[in-house]
Structure 1
Amino acid sequence: MIVLDFSQFLSGPYAGLRLADLGARVIKIEKNDSGDICRSLYISNLELDGDSTLFHSINRNKESFSANLKNEDDYHAVAELVKKADVVIQNYRPGVIEKLGFSYEEVKKLNPNIIYGSISGYGSDGPLIEKPGQDLLVQSFTGIPWSITSDRKKPTPYGLAIADMITGAHLAEGILASLVRGTITGKGAKVEVSLLESTLDLMQEIFRNVLQDYKKNYVLAPAPKGIYETKDGFIALEAESVPKLGKIMNCPKLMTFEERTSWVDFKDQIKQILQGHFVQKSSNDLINILEREGISCAEVFNWKQLIEHEGFQILEMVQNVYRSNGTKLTTLRCPIRIDGERFLSSIGSPKVGEHNESIRREFNF
């Protein structure tokens, strides 16, 4: 299966990465010289072989064909690739892909059976279509930052690009479903996802209540669920009976909160009482005490603790990938297993236009 990936940044390339991990041949269509903007998108001060490590991690296991789509010869070369492709992915701002001549309608003329995956920020119509489709902005629009902060005074966004990543996953899901349908009907499809809709889908737990009464501020984590400081670190506590915790911790005050509604109404007070007890003991001691009584809890790890833990190491999630010049990146593998098989590939991300000549020879243009 050949996937032509016109997309940039994170959401579209992540969809392409997942398809590549599952066996697709993914060819990035990039601008001459500069390529995917993600090459210069830095989330840290780390750079590898001239490109950001973010680009390396999201664009491994792909080929690169660079072109100036406003140039007639380059346009026709890419059009020939479209004719051979099974899937096209794009996430340009509204109107851009149309100007470049590779809208769904134009691509369908070249390849009637194409599966065309399209990502937008806020959908294909409405008052937000011109707004930049960026992860932080979408998180903010959906109100997610209010679900993270504990004091409801300062909204805090996720430190991960959750809108981009889930949208890419949804696009891959829609493409795979369309490919299955195509084997039955012989028809292509246009698959559309947006950062806004995909992020809203992540919020099922919140919206089950919000849709009943959107004017009310719902408590997402009634006591005792939350993260607590200990003598030497932090632990996380799942939803549990407050009186039961009171008995375990030898705290009569907690045992008075017998009604479940009080765990919401007096959430802050309950957590403050618990915090006073937890901070006197080490994380390990608390884990042992709580788990012995059947309480769901975990230590809050830092990256070093995570990577050195047997539970992480046994997953074999880490793999090394290499560019054609030998540059190595240590990164994560595909998280999916099929019939027990882990999907690994040592192929690193491509240089801009690295595969132009080999692709031109292969497809005779």
Structure 2
Amino acid sequence: MAQPAAAARAEPRGPLRGMRVIDFTHFVAGPYATLLLADLGADVIKIENPRRGDEFRHYPPAMDQLGGEGAPFLWVNRNKKSVAVDMKTPQGQQLLRELIRDADILVENFSTGVMERFDLGYEQLAKDHPRLIYCSVSAYGRSGPFADRVGFDPIVQAESGFMSLNGYPDREGVRTGASVMDIGTSMMAANGILAAVIERQRSGQGQRVETSLYASAMTMVGYSPLQVMSDASWTAGRHGNGSPDTAPTGVFHASDGPIYIACTGTEIYQRLFRLIGREDMADDPELTIKAGRLKHRDRLFEAVNAAFATNTRDHWLARLRHARVPAGAVRTVAEALRSPETEALGIVSHIPHPAGGSIANIRSSVTLEKTPMAEPVAAPLLGAHTREVLQDVLGYSEERIQALKAEGVFGERLTDAPVLETREAAMLRCPFLNPQLSS
């Protein structure tokens, strides 16, 4: 039987089509930046160690049907190619310099000094490649007294004061479950790269772009630093699910589940309390002033919870929406994935994976009308595109590739990209998208 349609990639699309990114990043702070570029149409070539690749490949849960790949790696490496090269070999370093020579963008998040040891630092490359945009993502910056420090998302959450804002006042602060600092740093990196692309269109010159976990964390703390610096007596503390600035804001309980309401102003407050039949409180002169609502926070919560307990969450959410009171169900991740909002925005899909079957995909949150985003392609197997890139991008002959292989440049990783099942066939085989299979 003939195999499904070959793995030929769709015609490039997106505003960054035609631009090549050499990706030396791993984990999240870095790979998410190159994911954003890949979704915008850039040709992203991910450079990996031939032995284990990006360590994020091994984060749980491991998916046996996909060759043991971890689901987190699949999330952050969509639309990329994988080239497995041993950077410790002179031949591997030369190969990488040739690959970078005609690239537009390089992104790296190694520890400070690593790229320089391989003669791949910005100053080393920019002399021969002045148009190169070179982005470094670090923990504490590439210069200064803390450039040598290793850092991770939860550490900078703690150091930046971010943790001190989360949780309840009667216990220590808590980190977020999601890697918000990694993702925020990657977004900063991608914005810096795109700004450098625009400047290069004007001047013809590339430049170094830098961001760090710590600097991004101090941004992610929000407006609290300005509050502290503007008022010496101000204490930015923890308020659980509530708000220090507005009331009643927080979690309320219907008869069958919790609802979050953000009551950010007097008009919303009055609409909410008229909705629950408490016109007396809606029109109370003391409660129509923010300071009064903050003073009587407990009383307001008791009134809303008493009303909500009389009916279901869906009942109240429908009425809140009609009354234009900002509110939403408090959901688990699984519930959010199945929600009507997720379905309406087309956020979840399934795409073919080269090791067989299909995988879930969360689409980019950006849509572009005139230059649509790149068609989603599953994260690559380790080294899956090594031969393709060497032949098509660098023009290496088979003899040269085999000679490099014999010298150990690729480890055991020198394969052709697997044939992909068609997207339509994968979707038909997926119980999530084909209810007949799960019946």
Calculate the TM-score normalised by the size of structure 2.
0.75
1:59 shift after superposition: 0.8
> Of 50, 73, 79, which aligns to 1:55?
73
1:244-255 alignment to 2 at 5 Å? 245-251=272-278, 255=284
Matching residue's letter, 2:378: G
1:333 shift after superposition: 1.7
Could you tell me whether the CA contact under 8 Å between 1:243 and 1:257 is conserved in 2? no
Alignment of 1:352 with 2:348, yes or no, is no
Query: Residue 302 and residue 116 in structure 1: after superposition, are their counterparts in 2 closer, same or farther (change >3 A)?
Result: same
Match of 2:33 in 1: 15
**Distance in 1 (alpha carbons) for counterparts of 2:373 and 2:150:** 34
Matching residue's letter, 1:26: V
Query: Residue 246 and residue 347 in structure 1: after superposition, are their counterparts in 2 closer, same or farther (change >3 A)?
Result: closer
Aligned partner of residue 335 in structure 1, secondary structure: coil
Match of 1:190 in 2: 208
Query: Residue 262 and residue 310 in structure 1: after superposition, are their counterparts in 2 closer, same or farther (change >3 A)?
Result: same
Could you tell me whether the CA contact under 8 Å between 2:157 and 2:217 is conserved in 1? yes
Task: Show structure 2 runs of 5+ residues with no match.
Answer: 1-18, 237-242, 397-439
Per-residue CA deviations over 1:153-188 (Å, capped at 9, x if unaligned) read: 231222211111111111111111111111110101
Deviates more, 1:259-268 or 1:161-170: 259-268
Per-residue CA deviations over 1:260-317 (Å, capped at 9, x if unaligned) read: 1133344455435543443343222323443444322222233454334333212222
1:234 shift after superposition: 0.7
Deviates more, 1:127-136 or 1:227-236: 127-136
Aligned partner of residue 183 in structure 2, secondary structure: helix
Could you tell me whether the CA contact under 8 Å between 1:33 and 1:352 is conserved in 2? no
Aligned partner of residue 364 in structure 2, secondary structure: coil
Query: Residue 143 and residue 45 in structure 1: after superposition, are their counterparts in 2 closer, same or farther (change >3 A)?
Result: farther
Query: Residue 61 and residue 269 in structure 1: after superposition, are their counterparts in 2 closer, same or farther (change >3 A)?
Result: same
**Distance in 1 (alpha carbons) for counterparts of 2:119 and 2:147:** 20
> Of 221, 224, 229, which aligns to 2:253?
229
1:81 shift after superposition: 0.5
Match of 2:309 in 1: 279
Deviates more, 1:114-123 or 1:326-335: 326-335
1:145 shift after superposition: 2.5
Alignment of 1:175 with 2:193, yes or no, is yes
Deviates more, 1:150-159 or 1:14-23: 150-159
Query: Residue 350 and residue 289 in structure 1: after superposition, are their counterparts in 2 closer, same or farther (change >3 A)?
Result: closer
Alignment of 1:3 with 2:21, yes or no, is yes
Q: Alpha carbon RMSD of aligned pairs, Å? A: 2.5
Deviates more, 1:302-311 or 1:330-339: 302-311
Per-residue CA deviations over 1:98-157 (Å, capped at 9, x if unaligned) read: 222211111213422100011011223445433332111111222223333243523122
**Distance in 2 (alpha carbons) for counterparts of 1:329 and 1:285:** 35
Aligned partner of residue 338 in structure 1, secondary structure: coil
Could you tell me whether the CA contact under 8 Å between 1:15 and 1:171 is conserved in 2? yes
**Distance in 1 (alpha carbons) for counterparts of 2:318 and 2:114:** 57
User: How many residues matched?
Assistant: 364
Query: Residue 34 and residue 14 in structure 1: after superposition, are their counterparts in 2 closer, same or farther (change >3 A)?
Result: same
1:14 shift after superposition: 0.7
Alignment of 1:160 with 2:175, yes or no, is no
**Distance in 1 (alpha carbons) for counterparts of 2:376 and 2:96:** 27
Could you tell me whether the CA contact under 8 Å between 1:235 and 1:298 is conserved in 2? yes
> Of 301, 323, 348, which aligns to 2:353?
323
Could you tell me whether the CA contact under 8 Å between 1:225 and 1:240 is conserved in 2? no
Query: Residue 337 and residue 168 in structure 1: after superposition, are their counterparts in 2 closer, same or farther (change >3 A)?
Result: same
Aligned partner of residue 167 in structure 1, secondary structure: helix
Aligned partner of residue 172 in structure 2, secondary structure: coil
Task: Show structure 1 runs of 5+ residues with no match.
Answer: none
Q: Determine which structure has more spread, i.e. the larger CA radius of gyration.
A: 2
Deviates more, 1:11-20 or 1:117-126: 117-126
Alignment of 1:38 with 2:93, yes or no, is no
* Identity fraction in percent: 26
**Distance in 2 (alpha carbons) for counterparts of 1:139 and 1:46:** 30
**Distance in 2 (alpha carbons) for counterparts of 1:161 and 1:340:** 32
Per-residue CA deviations over 1:68-107 (Å, capped at 9, x if unaligned) read: 2121111100110010111000011122222222111112
1:250 shift after superposition: 4.3
Matching residue's letter, 1:195: L
**Distance in 1 (alpha carbons) for counterparts of 2:273 and 2:55:** 54
Deviates more, 1:314-323 or 1:4-13: 314-323
